[in-house]
Structures are given as C-alpha cells and as structure tokens.
Amino acid sequence: MSEIKCIGIMTSGNDAPGMNCAIRAVTRSAIYNGWRVKAVRRGYKGLIDGEIVEFQTQNVSNILQFGGTILKSSPSKEFLTEEGRKIAYENVKREGIDALVVIGGVGTIHGARIFAQEYDIPCIAIPATIDNNLCGTDTTIGYDTALNTIMQCVDKIRDTATSHERLFFVEVMGDDAGFLALNGAIASGCEEAIIPSVQVQEDQLANFIKNGFRKTKSSSIVLVAASEETGGALQYAERAKQEYPELDVRVSILGHQQRGGHPTAHDRIIASRMGNASIEALRKGLRNVMIGIDNDEIVYVPFSRAVRATREIDHALLDILHNVSI
Ligand code: F6P
C-alpha cells in the first residue's frame, strides 16, 4: 500500500449529534500525524461535484458542542451509478487524497464498501446514526443524545398524562431497529415499547391492555417506533380509541428534534475516540473497516459485517421494561 499523506473526510446520510466532534477528532489526529486533510462537503454528492477544501486545525475549532454536521450532507443518486463513482474517484485522485474517512450510518457504509471494492482507495467508516442499527459496535455516535432527548420529552409529556389520566402514544425515530423505543421507554419509565420486529410476532397493544396496565396506574405512556410496518403512533392511537373507548388517548410525534441538539458527553467522547481510531487504523494499514466500540474497547469491523443484517434488540431488556413498569 502506498504511503498516506492526505486523507479525505466527509459526512453522509442523516445527520447525528456528535458528527462534528468526529470531524474534529479525525482532522486533528490526521494533522497531528503529519497528514493533510481534505474536507468533502455534502457527502458523496460533493465527492462527485468536487466540493473539496483543505482543512487546518482551526477549521474544526469550536464545533464539538454542536449537533448537525458542518460538512453538510446530501443524498446522491449519481453515486449509486458506476459513472458517478468514476467521477468521484477521479476527484479523489486529482485532490491527492490517499484514503477516505466517512462518517455516517448504514447507507454511508454501503457506499464506502462499493467504492472501496471498485477502486484502490482505503476507506474507514465511523458509525454515526441515532438509530444504533449497525452490527459490531455497542453504540453509534448520536444514539445517546437522541435517547436523552426522548427522555426529556417524555418527562414533560408525563406531566399531562398524569394530570389528565391519559394514555399517550409517543412516536420515536430509530428506523425498524427499535433501540430508541426500547431504551427510551426504560429511561423514561414508560409502560410499553412497540417495536416492529416484536410486533410481527405478537400483538403488543392487545397484550399491553390485557396485562392490566390500569391495575395500579391511572395514566400510561407507550413509545412506538416509527415504522411503515407498524403504522406508527397514530395507527395505535386509532385502534386504542376504537377498541377501548373508555380510555382518553393522545398522540405525540417527537420527530426531528430527536436528531438535533448538543451532543451528550458520552457521544462527544466516543466520537473523539472513534475519530482518533480511524487515523490509527490507517496508520496500521487497515482498510475497509468500520470503527466500533465493543466492551469499551476500540474494534475494527469489516464493512461486510457492519451492514450485514438488521441488529437485533435484546429481548431481556423488553422483559425489564415490563417488570419495572407494573
Ligand atoms: O436514520 C435516522 C433517522 O432519523 C431514522 O430514525 C428515520 O427513520 C429517518 O432518519 C428519517 O429521515 P428523514 O430526515 O429523511 O425524514
């Protein structure tokens, strides 16, 4: 492998709090190592359009506390085509980029995987998505912040739920994985988390009502993972209103506020560790791996494993949710 003197860095896919912290860590670790850094704006689209500028350490000053991504992100249909990727590679060569560090979720890593298969360019991915749905890492950048946002929102919703003795269906993001719904429900003391992969096996709403949530409580909150499969919180609320007309039902859809805001200390720390590890990985000659954290240790996860399958939730956590919310 030829010696690395210059890396490209970009964010792609949906933004996640902590991405800026990762951009800072990658940039500074690379410069510390004597390498140059070329920042690509607007993800794979920017790689094709040649939106590439050189970064110095000052370019990443004062950004670690902000959500979103200073590099911006944009979908790219062109990168899905061979012609598009060819143009991207020509730009990479023209800019003197010897390796790419991409920050994002499942789609971003898919893109890097295809690019690295077609062209001789080492790629390292840093997992950043609020969904926490990548395999081989305990957590992804942004997930903890989103969980905390959900917890704070549900704490507020609880005031009304309790005062008016209502049943609330609160819709959260997280894709079909359901991690935000499950751990958000535990963190905020909800009575149930409706998760697509569980709902296909059992009627969670019917079981929840049947198990007598009103035995000791006069209000309750159910988190529903947004999903085409389940139809989301609105569909559950409609069903509950029809089947249990005695209940006072309300819906709250938390939406994109879950993706924003200042990253938590936890997300800043893992973003800094993973950003630094991406440069360490390149120094060790690794390529085409995602940086992961397993048992608090940095690990290198082959792209093929990171995106292999949908990451399963831990069913023991669902039991805990039910046990502690009686
Ligand atoms: O991947 C993060 C995520 O927030 C998912 O949980 C959600 O399904 C999706 O992005 C929403 O994306 P958009 O911003 O396109 O509505």
Containing 38, the helix (H) or strand (E) segment is strand 36-40
| CA-to-CA separations, 299 to 10, 12, 139, 163, 286, in angstroms, rounded | 21, 22, 12, 48, 12
Whether ligand 1 lies within 6 angstroms of the CB of 140 is answered as no
Q: Are 26 and 75 in contact (CB under 8 A)?
A: no
**Nearest residue to 89 (alpha-carbon basis) of 56, 107, 114, 55:** 114
Ligand 1 atom with minimal separation from the 13 CA: 1
> Exactly one of 15, 49, 120, 131 is catalytic; which is it?
131
Whether ligand 1 lies within 6 angstroms of the CB of 142 is answered as no
Q: Are 99 and 121 in contact (CB under 8 A)?
A: yes
Euclidean distance between CA atoms 267 and 64, whole angstroms = 10
- Per residue of the chain (326 residues), give pLDDT as tens: 569 999 999 999 999 999 999 999 999 999 999 999 999 999 999 999 999 999 999 999 999 999 999 999 999 999 999 999 999 999 999 999 999 999 999 999 999 999 999 999 999 999 999 999 999 999 999 999 999 999 999 999 999 999 999 999 999 999 888 999 999 999 999 999 999 888 888 899 888 888 766 678 889 999 999 988 778 999 999 999 999 899 999 999 999 999 999 999 999 999 999 999 999 999 999 999 999 999 999 999 999 999 887 788 999 999 999 999 98
Residue nearest atom 13 in ligand 1 by C-alpha distance:
14
Q: What is the pTM (predicted TM-score) of this model?
A: 0.97
Specify whether 131 is catalytic: yes
What does the buried/exposed string (b/e) look like for 11-47 if buried means 16 or more CB atoms within 10 Å of the residue's CB?
bbbbbbbbbbbbbbbbbbbbbeeebbbbbbbbbbbbb
Whether ligand 1 lies within 6 angstroms of the CB of 17 is answered as no
Ligand 1 atom with minimal separation from the 130 CA: 2
Burial of 190 (0-12, 13-18, 19+ CB in 10 A): buried
Euclidean distance between CA atoms 216 and 244, whole angstroms = 18
Q: Residue 181 C-alpha to ligand 1 middle, in angstroms?
A: 14
Side-chain-side CA neighbours of 60 within 13 Å: the count stands at 28
Give one DSSP letter per residue of 114-150, joined into a string: HHHHHSS--EEEEEB-TT---TT-S--BTHHHHHHHH
Proportion of the chain above pLDDT 90, given as a percent = 87
Whether ligand 1 lies within 6 angstroms of the CB of 108 is answered as no
Give one DSSP letter per residue of 225-292, joined into a string: E--TTT-HHHHHHHHHHHH-TTS-EEEEE-GGGGG-SPPPHHHHHHHHHHHHHHHHHHHTT--SEEEE
Q: Residue 264 C-alpha to ligand 1 middle, in angstroms?
A: 20
Whether ligand 1 lies within 6 angstroms of the CB of 129 is answered as yes
Q: Are 161 and 213 in contact (CB under 8 A)?
A: no
